[in-house]
Structures are given as C-alpha cells and as structure tokens.
Structure 1
Amino acid sequence: MTSTIQQQHSPTELFAHALRYENRADPYPAYEQLLQQPVVQMADGSWLATGHREISLLLRDPRISADRLNPQQQPIRKSLLMEDPPRHDQLRQAVTQQFIPRIMGMRDHIDALVTELLDAHTSEQPGQLDVVADLAYPLPVTVICELLGVPREDERLFGSLARRLTRGLDPVDTQTEKEIHELQQARAELVEYLEGLIARHNADGGSDLLAGLMNGQSPDGPMDAIDLRVTLGLLLIAGHETTVNLIANGTLALLRHPDLLARLRTDPDLATPLVEEVLRYDPPVQMSGRSALADIDIAGTTIPKGSRIRLLLASGNRDPRRFTDPDRFLPDRADNAHLGFGGGIHYCIGATLARAEAQIALTALARRLDSPRLAADPPPYRENAILRGPERLPVTFERLLRDPRGK
C-alpha cells in the first residue's frame, strides 16, 4: 500500500486516486481500501458499491435502472445495455436469436485466425511481438466485423472510431474538453458510417448478422432504422473492445506467472479456468453504472430513489469476504463467481464469444512463444479507466514457433 493511499481517508478521494492515469497499471490498492465500506455515498451525491455481495444484489434488483442518466425520461433511443424491461427484453431477444446461432461452432474459425495472425510473425530468431496490435486487437475486430458484414477494408476505419468512442464511457470529469469534442465528432462519424452500411445491406441483402437483424422475425417485428443503428453500434464496439483487454490482461498475467504459462503449454484444458480467473483478477470492464428507481436498503444504509450508482466490479472481484486470497492469480480457484461479465438481465451477451477468443489466443501464445518476456512491466496502459487494459504489450521471445499441430 502506497503512502499516498494511506494519507487519503474519504471514498471520494480513493475513487479519484484509482481513476488517475498514473495509477492505471494498478488501481487495486485503492480498491482494497474502498472495500472497507461496501456501499458508500460519494461527495457528488452518487453512490459507490464495492462489495461482491452488494454488487451482485444490485445487478439483479428490479428497483435498479440500467439508464444511469435519467431513467424517468425517454427522449432518445438507447442501446439494450441502458434499457430496462420490457424494452430491454424485446431488444435482447431480437439480438440473441440472431447472434447466438451465428457464434456457435466458431472455435475452428477463431483458431485459424489466431494461427494466421501469429504466422505473420513466425521467426527462428529472437524478436518481439506487440500482443495488443498483433493479436488481441485484430482478432476480435475481424470476428465481429465478419459476423456483422462489415467489409474487410473498413476494419481500420471502424477500429479508429471504436477507440475514440470508448473514452466516452469514463466519468466526464476525467475527460478534457478536447476529448469531449472528439467524442461528439466520433459519434457523428459512426452514425454516418452505420447508415451507409445499413443502406448497402438494404440493397445487397446477405446472410450475416446485420441482415438477420434487419429481416429477422420476432414477436415485436423487425427493428426499425434507429434501433438497428443503435444496436449495430453497440455490437461493433462492445463486440471487440472488452475482448482486446481480456486477451492482453490474460497475457500479462501469464507472463508474470511463468509456472502457469508452462502448464498451459502442455495442458490446453487449463485455458477454461484460466480465462475465468483473468475475468476475476484483472477484468477488462472495471465498473458499470445504474440508477435507483426506488429507495433501496442495503449494507446498513439507504440509497435514495433517483440516485446514480457506480458498481465497481473489479473491487467486488477482489472482495476477501467472497474470495480466498483475492489478490493471488489462481486459475484452480473453486467456485469462481466473478463479476467480469456483469450479472442479472444485462449479463454480457457476447460472453461465450469472448471466452472462446481468449481461450484460443492465450493457448496459442503459450504453445508458440519460446522464452517470452515482457519488454516493459508494467506496460503502457490505455487512457480508459472503465475499459482498462494495456495500450501496447511488447513481448520479446527467442523464437516464435510454427504451429506444432501442422496448421
């Protein structure tokens, strides 16, 4: 625990400390202090939930709204992430019936994409790989763009927009005026791009996910143009940004635990519990927001109706009241009920796909990298506090082996 944290007393100061960029590589000491009060009011009147039990209860409480802005007003269309029942259920059902069938049976294709990406760097000589730029980013971008029918030549443009837009998820008081302006510009550019993509699909048809959303049958009928655009934007951005961090954070954990890297190299079955432990130990989404639709009694206090609530998922994942040795990375951990994909009706719709991509990517890195080492520890991190992960993850190696399976 640093002396800076020891000198701070209020939850507001601790939370601000955790959000500062200079602490992006390790916000967990501040989270440990915040866990002393599992639900607490902040100086701005909002509420912060840090405990695993309390977050789990709030995620499933029907008195909580996913609209963290103003749940009493509905002036604009929102994505299903910020909608409540019954509208949330209608949108989620429409997406699920098109999305889930298309991702089933994709493991072989994901495996082939990972092989292709690593083959581009295969070397018998010592070298370096940026795990973010060379694998963790292009893999999920390619997968979600293929699913949605985004042309391959548009992937770079879309990726740039997504990176700019995700900064908008962080608290406004952490953003500069320049960043806010750039965010507004990026939103306008995304709307323009999506409208063009939808128009092309209207003309050409197709069998991809976007075509399915446009033409799919559901009890509530096909999505209209606005819902389609909002949903498509959500799937494009959420469909890859969290997975980038999941793969990068998992690689970081493996390289800091060489014994586990060696185990994964010879035991690919370890990938499943290992990814679950990454989701607990260093989750790609650190927090989420909600609003109270009624007074809520919890943890010895009352959250008043209309209050904004921050759910600090990453601190709940390190709650010693729920997990033994919470600060240790233990893939063999039993009953790993982490909050990495949220919970309740808003549980991540792409969790199955993200898990598959991370399991396959981490197994391939373990199998093919000979004597890998972090070129910088900690690596440089992204600006984002909520979608937290390395900006770059340079890894040196003695050799980058060809796929031993002969692919």
Structure 2
Amino acid sequence: MSTPTLVDLFAPEWLADPYPFYRRLREDHPVYHDEVLRSWVVSRHGDIAALSTDDRLTEDRVTAFQARLTPETRRLMRPLAGLLTDMMLFATGPRHAALRNMAKAGFSRRVVADLRASIERRAAALCDEVLPRGEIDLVGDLSAPLTKAVIAEMLGLPPEHRHLLDDWQSLLHVYFTQSGAESGRLRRLREVFDALAAQDEPPALLGHMLAAGSPESRDPGVVFANFLLIIDAGQVTTTHQIPNAVRALLADPGQLELLQGRPELRATAAEELLRYDSAVQFTARTAREDIELHGRTIPAGDQVTLLVGSGNRDEEAFADPDRLDVTRDAKAHLSFGHGRHYCLGAALALAETELVLGALLSRTHGLRLTSARLEWHETINFRFLKELPVAFEPR
C-alpha cells in the first residue's frame, strides 16, 4: 500500500468492510502521516493502548482544529466549539477529572443495574410491537427508540420534549464537518435544560451534575455541554452498535444459533460484538511534544488518530481476530477507549446491547436480512447503518 489515506475508506467496498484495509495498515504502515487528513495514524492495539495513557498527548483537539478554519467558518462554528471544549471528552488533567466526577455517579454499576429492568421492558415492548409484521428495522424500530427513551429518562427530559432527540446526529461529526444543521435544536435543548436546572429538585442525574465537582464544573454552561455529551455518547453510538451486532450474527449463522441456545453468553457476546464491529472506529489526540514510534517522529502540535477499529482486529491482541466468537473474552477491546478516558457509559451500552439481543432472540427465529445491499452513513470515524431490515418468524 503506497501513500495510504483513511479517506480511501469512503470507497463503497471499504465503507462496507474496512477491516482488510486496516490489516494492511498494521502490517505495512503501523504509524504513518496521512497527508490528506493531516494526521498521524496509529493502527496496532498495543500502540493505541499505550498512547491512550501517554501524557505527551492531549485530548483537546478542538483548539487545533479551530485554528485551521477560515475566519468566517471559525466565527460560525465558535458556539459549537465552545460547547465541545467544555465537554469532558476534550478535557485533560485535573479539569477532565473534575468534569468526569460531575457525571460519574449517574453511570455507576448500581445505577445501571437498577436500569436493567426498565431497559428489558422497553426492549420487549418494542419487539412485541413488530412481531405480527414478521419484520423489523433494527435501527428505526428498535435501537433508536430504545436508546432515546433510556437517555431521556436518565436526564429527566419531559415526554413533550423528547422529540428533540429524534434523528440525533453526533455533535462531533457535525462540528468536524463544519455543519450548522443542529444549531436550532441545540438552542431549544438549552431552553429545556435551563428549565430543568431551575427546578427545586432537578432530575437525579442532572441534579448531581449541578451539585458535584469543582465550582468551574458546576457552571451551567459547562454542565449543559456535558448534558449534550451524554445525549451524544449515550444515544448515537449504541443506536448503531446494536444493528452492527445483529448484522454480524446474521453473517455467522453458527454463532447466532449458539447465542440463541445459550442465553448465559449474552453478556460475553456483547463485548465480542463490540470488538468485532464497533460503531466507533477511531479517536484523536494532539501531540504535546515529539513522540518516537516505529522509527517515525510525531512532531509536537500534530494530530494523532488512534484507529481503534483496527486495534480491535489486531492479531497480536486477539487470536483469529476476524472470526466472531461469542464465547471469547474480548474485554481488552478498545471500543470504549482506554485509560482515564475510558467511556463513562460503557456498562450502560453493554447492558442495552445484551438486553436487546435477549429480547429479539428469545422472541424470534429464522432471522434473516431482507436486502443484500446495506447503506452506511458516509462517515469513516463511525460505522453507522442507515437501516437494518430483518425478517423473522415469531416464536
């Protein structure tokens, strides 16, 4: 592979299956400078894990990106840039710790354990609703309404405002593609947030966010930014992770049959399915100082792209990584990040995936795709199906 670029992943064959492309990167270009993206790309599991905890990298990539924009575009994107800068995802050091502490109580294992019953009920109700039809769109009929309802409940969004979460687009994608499409929705959400925050007893998670942490992290603007981050991370990625998981199972009937026959494997399978085809394919950092890696020098100030989708298929980390194995211990996958930025909502995402699979597989048999041609959203940092139409026979 000569002069590789991740932009090649927009080609239809790589959009559908980027993993052979990643394998060639790991073998021939484990670290290289992508001239088109103007970023260093790192593709091996061990390197990604090590760099994820390396203090020579910073998570703040908004500032550097903003500096590269034209003055007019920078002016248009400044409000969204300000929101992203206040999110824990782009914070580092003590500030990141304070912002993370602001929300972590709302995602504890106890909270997620308490949520399991309601998630299971919602998943069952959504499946029961489509059983008479004998077909389902895993995105529109199941994963999207489920994840929206769960995150709306956690944040205390009143039913009359939950439409604001419909067809939610990742704010990271909106910002880095320099789109103003979500500005109206963000203004309306800020009005709803302000009304909730002004209540004598704000909803549980929001109330904790307003009360916890340092004085700076309790600032309403900062809390609102992380309120949006929870919507973003808690809804969009899991909405698309669930269809990716079902698609992988449909492509491997033996694993699908095994999982249907052994419900106790669902929790293990959720981790493996996340490793096998993650909705999140890469994350990025900015180098604070020069970094030597595989004989190359990443200069201070340059962006570094950590290709977690490739790390999840690294032969050095997982035996026979291109084979789906629902019995595999896949907890070393990188889909939730690694180190101090490990995803706060990981337990929730795994629970949702596990329980949706349980609801679907226990109510149906003969699951099969109704179309051989699947459409993916044209974004290379996420693997988002537009829909996943599946037919079945009710049990």
Taking structure 2 as the reference length, what is the TM-score of the superposition? 0.89
| Cross-structure match for 1:3 | none
Q: Secondary structure at the match of 1:372?
A: strand
**Aligned equivalents of 2:376 and 2:2: distance in 1?**
27
Q: CA deviation at 1:198?
A: 2.1
Relative to structure 2, which stretch is displaced further, 320-329 or 308-317?
Answer: 320-329
Name the CA shift for 1:244/1:203 in 2 (closer, same or farther; >3 Å). same
Structure 2 residue identity aligned to 1:325: D
**Aligned equivalents of 1:234 and 1:145: distance in 2?**
13
2:52 paired with 1:59: yes
- Does the aligned pair in 1 maintain the 2:164–2:185 contact within 8 Å? no
- In structure 1, stretches of 5+ residues that fail to align are 1-7, 173-179, 402-407
Q: Secondary structure at the match of 1:324?
A: coil
**Aligned equivalents of 2:100 and 2:193: distance in 1?**
22
- Does the aligned pair in 2 maintain the 1:114–1:364 contact within 8 Å? yes
**Pick aligned residue for 2:90 from 71, 82, 87:** 82
2:139 paired with 1:127: no
| Cross-structure match for 1:147 | 154
- Does the aligned pair in 1 maintain the 2:14–2:21 contact within 8 Å? no
| Cross-structure match for 2:347 | 352
**Aligned equivalents of 1:143 and 1:335: distance in 2?**
26
Q: CA deviation at 1:221?
A: 7.2
**Aligned equivalents of 1:194 and 1:11: distance in 2?**
42
2:169 paired with 1:163: yes
Q: Secondary structure at the match of 2:305?
A: strand
Q: Secondary structure at the match of 1:24?
A: helix
| Cross-structure match for 1:17 | 8
- Does the aligned pair in 2 maintain the 1:136–1:248 contact within 8 Å? yes
Structure 2 residue identity aligned to 1:82: F
- In structure 2, stretches of 5+ residues that fail to align are 68-77
**Aligned equivalents of 2:206 and 2:231: distance in 1?**
11
- Does the aligned pair in 1 maintain the 2:32–2:41 contact within 8 Å? yes
| Cross-structure match for 2:74 | none
Structure 1 residue identity aligned to 2:127: L
- Does the aligned pair in 2 maintain the 1:264–1:363 contact within 8 Å? no
Which structure 2 residues correspond to residues 269-280 of structure 1 after superposition, within 5 A?
A: 269-280=264-275
Same amino acid, percent of matched pairs: 34
2:250 paired with 1:258: no
**Pick aligned residue for 1:232 from 211, 217, 227:** 227
Q: CA deviation at 1:321?
A: 2.3
- Does the aligned pair in 2 maintain the 1:18–1:31 contact within 8 Å? no
Q: Secondary structure at the match of 2:136?
A: strand
CA RMSD of aligned residues (A): 2.3
Cα deviation, 1:181-231, whole Å, max 9, x if unaligned, reads: xx32413531342233322440453333112222x2445476111101101
| Cross-structure match for 1:209 | 205
Q: CA deviation at 1:62?
A: 0.9
**Pick aligned residue for 1:29 from 20, 37, 58:** 20
2:189 paired with 1:193: yes
Name the CA shift for 1:42/1:278 in 2 (closer, same or farther; >3 Å). same
Taking structure 1 as the reference length, what is the TM-score of the superposition? 0.86
**Aligned equivalents of 1:111 and 1:282: distance in 2?**
23
| Cross-structure match for 1:70 | 63
**Aligned equivalents of 1:374 and 1:280: distance in 2?**
22
| Cross-structure match for 1:391 | 386
Q: CA deviation at 1:71?
A: 6.4
Q: Secondary structure at the match of 2:371?
A: coil
| Cross-structure match for 2:115 | 106
**Aligned equivalents of 1:289 and 1:251: distance in 2?**
28
**Aligned equivalents of 1:135 and 1:117: distance in 2?**
6
Relative to structure 2, which stretch is displaced further, 108-117 or 95-104?
Answer: 95-104
**Aligned equivalents of 1:54 and 1:148: distance in 2?**
36
Q: CA deviation at 1:381?
A: 1.6
Q: CA deviation at 1:296?
A: 1.1
Cα deviation, 1:87-133, whole Å, max 9, x if unaligned, reads: 0000001111344253332111111111111111122xx62111111
- Does the aligned pair in 1 maintain the 2:255–2:325 contact within 8 Å? no
| Cross-structure match for 1:405 | none
2:250 paired with 1:242: no
**Aligned equivalents of 1:245 and 1:233: distance in 2?**
18
- Does the aligned pair in 2 maintain the 1:66–1:289 contact within 8 Å? yes
| Cross-structure match for 2:40 | 47
Q: CA deviation at 1:159?
A: 2.2
**Aligned equivalents of 1:59 and 1:52: distance in 2?**
11
**Aligned equivalents of 2:316 and 2:365: distance in 1?**
39
Structure 1 residue identity aligned to 2:307: L
| Cross-structure match for 1:94 | 102
Structure 2 residue identity aligned to 1:281: Y
Q: How many residues align?
A: 377
Q: CA deviation at 1:263?
A: 2.0
**Pick aligned residue for 1:303 from 276, 298, 306:** 298
Structure 1 residue identity aligned to 2:35: A
**Pick aligned residue for 1:366 from 351, 361, 364:** 361
Structure 1 residue identity aligned to 2:204: D
**Aligned equivalents of 2:25 and 2:212: distance in 1?**
47
Q: CA deviation at 1:294?
A: 0.9
Q: Secondary structure at the match of 1:395?
A: strand
Structure 2 residue identity aligned to 1:291: T
